[in-house]
Structure 1
Amino acid sequence: MTGQGRRRRAVALAAMGLVAVLAAGACGADGGKNASDSGMPAAAPNAGGAAKAEGGADQDKAAGGSGGTDLRVDQRSIIYTGTMQVRVEDVDRAAREATARAREAGGFVGGDQRTSESADARAELILRVPADRFTALIDGLAGLGKQERREIRTEDVTEETVDLDARIATQRARVDSARKLLARATSINDLVTLENEVGRREADLASLEAKKRRLADLTALSTITVAFVGPHAVTVEKEDDLGFLVGLRGGWSAFLSSLTVALTVLGAVLPFALMIGVPVALLIWLARRRRARRAPPAGPARMVPGPAGPVPGPTPSAPPPVPAARSGP
């Protein structure tokens, strides 16, 4: 056989071997897929552990999906709070209209404070309405006059609600277990101890349930605080936090506060000073007066003799000088 024939034979054998390897791999893949689909364990040594780990992960994922927080917007617990100020022509009529609209929406009035002075008429209402009517009612109230201020705040309490549900379920189980132990108590000491434990657990459960009801109320009913002001009412605008006048106003307020504190302290100390200081001052005055009476009276000052000195008088003037006599030649 020539060299060229050998090469052809070798190429043919290699091609046949490659086809056989590919066919075996395809069969193995199909077999593994069929085994996994039919629930049969894999033949590899670590396949069982891998399958168990994947199954546990799937179970955890399913548990988290069923018991975790639903991320859909319509399933979340959101607290809506709105604050607005509307200037109207008739404050009382606007307040009555707002009250009627809140009741029509299925809510109620949680607070009503009004000032009837014509120059500074003002009405502040706190309305509690269902969350799905919150936006519509806000827009309706703004249409009663000229809206000057609006502020809407939201708070997502979904995680807190889910956590409270889990804690309530756990606490209920603890209360049930404590009650079962209390039913099987045989001694007085055990009975007293278990009764205290049951009372403590029931108090914790009641506190958690109160928090849950509070959150449910805030999420079910939104809060709108609306202030209706008259056409000539003066409203306080938000001031800057910096500036000379702001600092001066703050310093004057601090001075008045300090003066108020000082006067308060003085008023608290004054009764003690009157009750104690006046008798003490009177005793000191009496003691000084008695001491002054016991002291001897002062007489005339005695003359102390001293050395005799010249009698003061006019100083005699010196005689004029006498000229010297001249001697003869």
Structure 2
Amino acid sequence: MSRIRYGIALSALCAAMSLSGCAGSGSGGGEAQLARGTAADAPAPAPIQESAGAARDQDTEKQAQAKGGIVSNVKATQQERQVIYTGSMTVRAKQVGTAVQQAKQIVTAAGGYLSKEESSSASDSEDTAMLEFKVPPARYAEVLGKLGKDLGKQLAMNQGTQDVTLQMADVESRLKSAQQSLESLRTLLKRADTIGQVLQVEREISGRESDLESLQAQQKELTTQVAMATLTLRLVGPVAVVEEPEDEPAGFLGGLKSGWTALVAFMKGAATVTGVLLPWMIVVVPVAVLLIWMTRRNRAIGRPSAGPPAATPRDPDPETA
């Protein structure tokens, strides 16, 4: 009987954990509403209930008279928004090396840091550098303005934002549900009586731990992106060529342009392959022709000459015989 009860308890627990994982962020709100509904449905003592109802009716009438029949005493709770800031900027500087050091100083003074750096040095006037900074969101606009003014001439700038408030709330809710499920499974593991029950619960615990680690990684990544804005700065020298993205035309002209670009790319590739193979063809083709000629010549020499056709015996004439 204990095994039957244990199996029923384990099945019910697994079903509850599956429903809680599917519900996601709505689990906490549903329980709160259920609790409020239960408390509201419970009957109060008669005197208290009547006095409370009279007071509510009076308040409602006063507010309706003051607001023209509309009750508007509900206060909305504002949730702090979680936003990811990203931006990119291109600046033409007189000396790229000096501008790189100056940009690092500006970002460091604002509480940020350098996360990635790439540079190429062709000459002093054609140098380029690509810097990726992490900047506190509160100082993001200030840093963006200083980089565009103090380093040189600003050529291009793009900014973007992503609101991840609901995503972070969902991950946090699922994380709490996974932690509660693990606690319940660990409690159930202590009550296991047989090896089969222990193995079954341990498998469930292993799967829940993997889900918990994945949710923790998502929460950490989102928190990191929200805590620091990402700013990509591209510095170019005085005569460095800057390739600006062009807007692709739509419809027939866009298709025609794409087809022409593909044809030109194919012809360039074919010309490159021909140029690579041509020197080899100059050497290989004469050798191949000579080998073919010698092979045919040897076959012609080794073939026996054909003599006159032998006379076929004729059948004797029966009258002569």
Aligning the two structures, in what range does the TM-score lie when normalised by the shorter sequence? 0.5 to 0.7
2:263 maps to a residue whose letter is G
Deviations 1:33-62, CA, capped at 9 Å, x for gaps = x965435899xxxxxxxxxxxxxxxxxx99
Displacement after TM superposition at 1:300 (Å): 2.6
Q: Distance in 2 between matches of 1:41 and 1:163?
A: 39
Say how many residue pairs are matched: 222
SS at match of 2:138: helix
1:133 and 2:139 are equivalent in the alignment: yes
The answer to whether the 8 A contact 2:114-2:133 is kept is yes
Flag structure 1 segments of 5+ consecutive residues without an equivalent.
1-33, 43-60, 262-284, 304-329
Give the 3 Å change call, closer, same or farther, for CA 214–299 of structure 1 in structure 2. Answer: same
Q: How does 1:136-215 map to 2 (within 5 A)?
A: 136-144=142-150, 145-215=152-222
Given the two structures, how large is their TM-score scaled by the length of structure 2?
0.60
Say which structure, 1 or 2, has more relative contact order (CA 8 Å, 6+ apart).
Answer: 2
Give the Å deviation of 1:216. Answer: 0.5
In the aligned structure 1, how far is the partner of 2:52 from the partner of 2:218? 50
* Residue 89 (str. 1) matches residue 101 (str. 2): no
| Offset of residue 296 of structure 1 | 7.3
Contact kept in structure 1, 2:95 and 2:125, CA below 8 Å = no
What secondary structure sits across from 2:244 in the alignment? coil
Question: What secondary structure, in the 3-state scheme, does the structure 1 residue paired with 2:111 have?
Answer: coil
Partner Cα distance (2:127, 2:98) in 1: 12
Matched, 1:99 2:104: yes
1:252 correspondence with 2:275: no
Q: Please tell me whether Structure 1 or Structure 2 has the larger radius of gyration of its CA atoms.
A: 1
Tell me which residue corresponds to 2:308. Answer: 300
| Alpha-carbon displacement from aligned partner over 1:74-118 (angstroms, at most 9, x marks no partner) | x10000000010111111111111111111111110101112232
Q: Indicate how the Cα distance of structure 1 residues 247 and 166 shifts in structure 2: closer, same or farther if over 3 A, else same.
A: same
CA contact (8 A) 1:112 1:123 kept: yes
- RMSD of the TM alignment (CA)? 3.8
Unaligned runs of 5+ in 2: 1-47, 57-73, 274-294, 312-321
Distance in 2 separating the partners of 1:41 and 1:240: 66
**C-alpha contact 2:95 2:124 (8 A) present in aligned 1:** no
Identity fraction in percent: 31
Given residue 105 of structure 1, which amino acid in structure 2 is its aligned partner?
A
User: 2: distance between equivalents of 1:167 and 1:179?
Assistant: 18
